């Protein structure tokens, strides 16, 4: 993976209720421009060699950290997917989905099968689950609301980080690398999982599936997470586990590493990622870089 260099602006962010009003992304080769991206306290600061605004959106507010100066040194930024990348959440997702299927007269699906349904957000998961159970799909809003009710009763009771992930995140945080989370999972569930795992405040930016009007593989969530964390596209890497992640990273102009322990639909070698890894260990070598 080839990474450039540019000084990021370090900041921490937390969830707010209003999404950005509008966005326009122009992607030309590996030069990303984000323009017309509005927020109530938005800023635009040129970074890198071009006029690339560092976006501050009203999905997260910004406060400076005491170690801002240390973290403003040149560092590689990391944008992480959540499910199947940092955490094994399939047991909790499968439990909620199967309870929903039973409610609608269907048959529970094996966890291994549900794992292959993850990716693209909860609505896509439910479409796949109902199809696998041979059920007609109910109205999307109705079934999504019921699924989230089941899931929110315990979104992380059986969810665990993959081996080495807590150590990696801690090492990147201590080294001053900007780290962002970009997931299609709804914000309420994302926040509950971060709290349950003790990861509150660990990420410099968190963009969930309902923060914006679009989800991955659209590049906007990835770029929003990256800029909010203080990173820039020419010195960043995206880490995921599925075709949705690879496509999102490509759309955003970022190199992408795929972890093979996740929820890819089919052989990971077919994803055409820039790098494949069976563990997060290779990323540790980039801490502080």
Which residues, in sequence order, are CB contacts of 112 under 8 Å at separation 6+?
A: none
Task: Determine the distance from the C-alpha atom of residue 246 to the mean position of all C-alpha atoms in its chain, rounded to a whole number.
Answer: 12
Is residue 210 a known part of a binding site? no
In the residue annotation, 81 being an active-site residue is answered as: yes
- Measuring CA to CA, how many Å separate 142 from each of 115, 126, 146, 235? 23, 11, 6, 42
Element (H, E) at 77: strand 77-80
Nearest partner of 122 among 92, 165, 161, judged by Cα: 92
d(CA 72, CA 231): 10
Axis crossing angle, helix 90-103 with helix 122-132, rounded to the nearest 10:
60
Nearest partner of 252 among 64, 97, 26, judged by Cα: 26
Is residue 83 a known part of a binding site? yes
What Rg, from alpha-carbon coordinates, does the chain have? 18
Is residue 200 a known part of a binding site? no
Which residues, in sequence order, are CB contacts of 65 under 8 Å at separation 6+?
A: 10, 11, 12, 71
d(CA 269, CA 77): 25
Which residues, in sequence order, are CB contacts of 12 under 8 Å at separation 6+?
A: 62, 63, 65, 201, 204
Binding residues: 81, 83, 241
Q: Please enumerate, by residue number, every residue annotated as part of a binding site for Mg(2+).
A: 81, 83, 241
Q: What amino acid positions are annotated as catalytic residues? A: 81
């Amino acid at each position: 993976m080839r990474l450039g260099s540019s000084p990021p602006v370090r900041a921490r962010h937390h969830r707010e209720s209003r999404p950005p009003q509008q966005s326009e992304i122009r992607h030309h080769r590996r030069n990303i421009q984000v323009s017309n991206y509005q927020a109530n306290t938005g800023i635009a600061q040129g970074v890198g060699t071009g006029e690339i605004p560092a976006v501050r959106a009203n999905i997260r507010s910004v406060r400076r950290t005491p170690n801002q100066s240390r973290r403003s040194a040149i560092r590689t930024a990391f944008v992480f997917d959540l499910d199947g990348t940092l955490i094994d959440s399939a047991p909790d997702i499968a439990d909620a989905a199967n309870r929903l299927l039973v409610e609608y007269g269907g048959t529970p699906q094996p966890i291994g099968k549900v794992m292959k349904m993850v990716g693209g957000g909860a609505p896509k998961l439910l479409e796949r689950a109902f199809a696998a159970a041979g059920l007609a799909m109910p109205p999307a809003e109705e079934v999504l609301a019921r699924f989230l009710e089941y899931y929110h009763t315990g979104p992380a009771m059986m969810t665990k980080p993959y081996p080495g992930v807590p150590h990696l995140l801690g090492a990147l945080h201590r080294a001053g690398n900007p780290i962002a989370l970009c997931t299609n999972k709804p914000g309420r569930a994302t926040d509950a999982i971060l709290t349950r795992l003790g990861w509150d405040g660990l990420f410099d930016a968190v963009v969930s599936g309902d923060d914006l009007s679009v989800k991955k593989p659209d590049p906007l969530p990835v770029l929003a997470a990256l800029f909010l964390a203080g990173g820039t596209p020419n010195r960043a890497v995206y880490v995921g586990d599925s075709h949705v992640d690879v496509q999102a990273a490509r759309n955003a102009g970022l190199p992408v590493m795929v972890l093979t322990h996740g929820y890819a639909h089919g052989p990971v070698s077919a994803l055409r990622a820039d790098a494949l890894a069976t563990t997060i260990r290779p990323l540790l070598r980039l801490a502080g870089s």
